[in-house]
Amino acid sequence: MDTELLERTASELVAPGKGILAADESNGTMSKRLAAVGVDPSSETRRSYRANLLSTDGYESAVGGVILFDETIRQSMDDGTPIAEALSSRGIHPGIKVDTGAKELANHPGEKITEGLDGLRERCVEYFKMGARFAKWRAVIRIDEGMPSAACVSTNAHALARYAAICQEQGLVPIIEPEVLMDGTHQAQRCYDVTAEVLGATFAACAEQGIHIPGTLLKPNMIFAGNDCPDQASREEVARLTVDCLTNHVPHDLPGIVFLSGGQSDEDATAHLNLMNQMDVNHPWQLSYSYGRALQAHALRTWAEGGADSAAASRSMFAHRASMNSLARSGDWSLDLEA
């Protein structure tokens, strides 16, 4: 394990003002999003959209890394430059999604286990040679009556730790993503309790597997009430509960926390991050972002309109959202800037 490389990469991914673009949608998911905006989905349209987005001027000031899917890391920009090479040339670390998806957890209906450990070492070797310097693995935890079960929490925690160990062995910074879903009627305190349990189990498993925490990043959910709960927390409450939960359950030698947007609106995702960074608290880690739809939603709809003007406008919208979240990294975002 090259701990110096891991620590350097992790710190560069969450350098002041920077976050991560999650462009790692699977082929199926990306095809659904293209179809939803009236674009015929194919390998070429997926490439074309992402190549346009990644050619945006100046976004490297707000983005330290881009998570890619297996298809995307093998594709090229419009000028023929491999996408990973194009990112690296701008000082942006290419990353790669390495799990193979969440599947039904045996004997636990309604719960999931993320798979992909088989052959992971060999895939990491190949991705590192292709230019990747970090990776991502997502576990999904559902809150419901009797859920999550102890089996769901423990099996996903173990898988995240094993994934992290293999990545670090091959020089890739692992992003550990145990996502507690927003679906449900539960109150925010229930989300807090489950998130605390999941984080505790995950980092205990990481300790057992010898994970080098200073060469690791965490991609957690924020603390929300369920989508169908009538008692929704305010933005300030979300920020406070989230920071309290992380402070009590995340190792303080972790270099950075890169939040997922998890179905939030673009503005909410930025506002919550901004409030956390405005707190009169000396956070032990960088509080940053690893947003997908919260950075891309408007850009995708605009690009789908077609034509050179739409392509340029799409890049402009992506640049705006990236700059808004970059400001939120230091608590300097305000609603007035959205105009």
Catalytic residue among 18, 97, 136, 219: 219
Given a contact cutoff of 8 angstroms between Cβ atoms, the answer to whether 152 and 108 are in contact is yes
The verdict on whether 219 is a catalytic residue reads yes
| β-strands 217-218, 286-291 pairing | unpaired
CB within 8 Å of 27: residues ≥ 6 apart: 43, 46, 69, 71
Please report, in tens digits, the pLDDT of each residue of the chain (339 residues total): 899 999 999 999 999 999 999 999 999 999 999 999 999 999 999 999 999 999 999 999 999 999 999 999 999 999 999 999 999 999 999 999 999 999 999 999 999 999 999 999 999 999 999 999 999 999 999 999 999 999 999 999 999 999 999 999 999 999 999 999 999 999 999 999 999 999 999 999 999 999 999 999 999 999 999 999 999 999 999 999 999 999 999 999 999 999 999 889 999 999 999 999 999 989 999 999 999 999 999 999 999 998 889 999 999 999 999 999 999 999 999 999 997
| Residue 46: CB atoms within 10 Å | 21
Given a contact cutoff of 8 angstroms between Cβ atoms, the answer to whether 132 and 73 are in contact is yes
pLDDT value for 308: 85
Domains observed in the chain = 3-338 (3.20.20.70)
- CA-nearest of 187, 183, 185, 213 to 199 is 213
**pLDDT tens digits, residue range 295-316?**
999 999 999 998 889 999 999 9
| β-strands 112-114, 102-104 pairing | antiparallel
What residues pair up with 287 in beta bridges, in sequence order? 257
- What whole-number distance in Å separates Cα of residue 319 and Cα of residue 61? 10
CA dist 156 → 81, 95, 191, 205, 290 (Å)? 37, 21, 17, 10, 20
Residue 148, preceding bond cis, omega within 30 degrees? yes
**pLDDT tens digits, residue range 199-246?**
999 999 999 999 999 999 999 999 999 999 999 999 999 999 999 999
In this structure, which amino acid lies at residue 120?
L
**pLDDT tens digits, residue range 260-273?**
998 899 999 999 99
- What whole-number distance in Å separates Cα of residue 190 and Cα of residue 193? 5
Q: Which residue has the tokens 């032990």?
A: 284
